[in-house]
Chains A and B, each alone.
Chain A
Amino acid sequence: QSALTQPASVSGSPGQSITISCTGTSSDVGAYNFVSWYQQHPGKAPKLMIYEVSNRPSGVSNRFSGSKSGNTASLTISGLQAEDEADYYCSSYTSSSTRVFGGGTKLTVL
């Protein structure tokens, strides 16, 4: 059960777009469309931003979008805003009927 691989940090200026990658294997990300993304601000519980690769729960801004190609999923945030500064985690269901998270990516809005 190795963690999914995410960049440790990404940054962007307000108004710009950034993309966070999440690389797994053919036993997790590549095998199922059960990839989800979470936003976590310091001291808070995680918030679901994207589920099933590309679906947004109601209330989540359409500036957030998800996609997948092969064993790599991606979260794109367009029109960066100061409030987007947070930690982001991807997660996937696995062929062992377990779940696995990525190591997390710290987004800094410059």
Chain B
Amino acid sequence: EVQLLESGGGLVQPGESLRVSCAASGFSFSSYAMSWVRQAPGKGLEWVSTISGSGGSTNYADSVRGRFTISRDNSKNTLYVRLNSLRAEDTAVYYCARPFYHDNSGYYWWGQGTLVTVSS
């Protein structure tokens, strides 16, 4: 059974940094691109970033490029996103997601999400 479990969310002040993790199990982790999707309170879904299975290719939304860094450790079956220079508008539930069967086949598996709150 595929499982995705996020951790690392919390309350941080504007300008601070945070690393959010997603522990994956139940599938061959290195075979799949993985993504982060976030949802601000009461708002819609926003794609944040995607990393290839090998980790050699990454893509970012304009809103986070240069501030967030996606990475993965295939030996630990874990996905990460480093959130730097955090702003109030980064407050959201951060979900990790795995595509159905290829990179662009839609996100079938989702974690439960971890809440990041940026506030002074």
Tell which of A46, A48, A50 touches B45, judged by Cβ atoms closer than 8 Å.
Answer: A46
Does A104 sit at the interface, judged by CB under 8 A? yes
B5 to chain A, nearest CB (A): 12
User: How many residues on chain A are close to B (CB under 8 Å)?
Assistant: 27
CB-defined contacts of A103 to chain B, threshold 8 Å: 44
Does A18 sit at the interface, judged by CB under 8 A? no
B42 to chain A, nearest CB (A): 10
A102 to chain B, nearest CB (A): 7
Residue in chain B with minimal CB distance to A6? B44
B106 touches A51 (CB 8 A): yes
CB-defined contacts of B32 to chain A, threshold 8 Å: none
A48 touches B61 (CB 8 A): no
Residue in chain B with minimal CB distance to A47? B110
User: What is the CA–CA distance of A36 and B105 in the complex, to the nearest angstrom?
Assistant: 8
A97 touches B108 (CB 8 A): no
Does A110 sit at the interface, judged by CB under 8 A? no
Tell which of A40, A48, A101 touches B108, judged by Cβ atoms closer than 8 Å.
Answer: A48
How many residue-residue contacts, CB under 8 A, span A and B? 66
B104 touches A101 (CB 8 A): no
User: What is the CA–CA distance of A46 and B38 in the complex, to the nearest angstrom?
Assistant: 11
Select the residue from A38, A50, A51, A99 with max chain B CB neighbours within 10 A. Answer: A99
A95 to chain B, nearest CB (A): 12
B49 to chain A, nearest CB (A): 9
A36 touches B44 (CB 8 A): no
Tell which of A48, A51, A87, A97 touches B59, judged by Cβ atoms closer than 8 Å.
Answer: A97
CB-defined contacts of B111 to chain A, threshold 8 Å: 45
User: What is the CA–CA distance of A93 and B113 in the complex, to the nearest angstrom?
Assistant: 22
User: What is the CA–CA distance of A38 and B47 in the complex, to the nearest angstrom?
Assistant: 13
User: What is the CA–CA distance of A33 and B47 in the complex, to the nearest angstrom?
Assistant: 18
**Residues of A participating in the B interface, judged by any CB pair closer than 8 Å:** 1, 3, 32, 34, 36, 38, 40, 45-46, 48, 50-52, 57, 87, 89, 91, 93, 96-104
Q: Could you list 17 further interchain pairs (A-B, Cβ under 8 angstroms) beyond the known A1-B63, A46-B37?
A: A34-B105, A40-B45, A46-B110, A48-B100, A48-B108, A50-B106, A51-B108, A52-B104, A52-B106, A57-B108, A89-B44, A98-B47, A98-B59, A99-B47, A99-B104, A101-B45, A103-B44
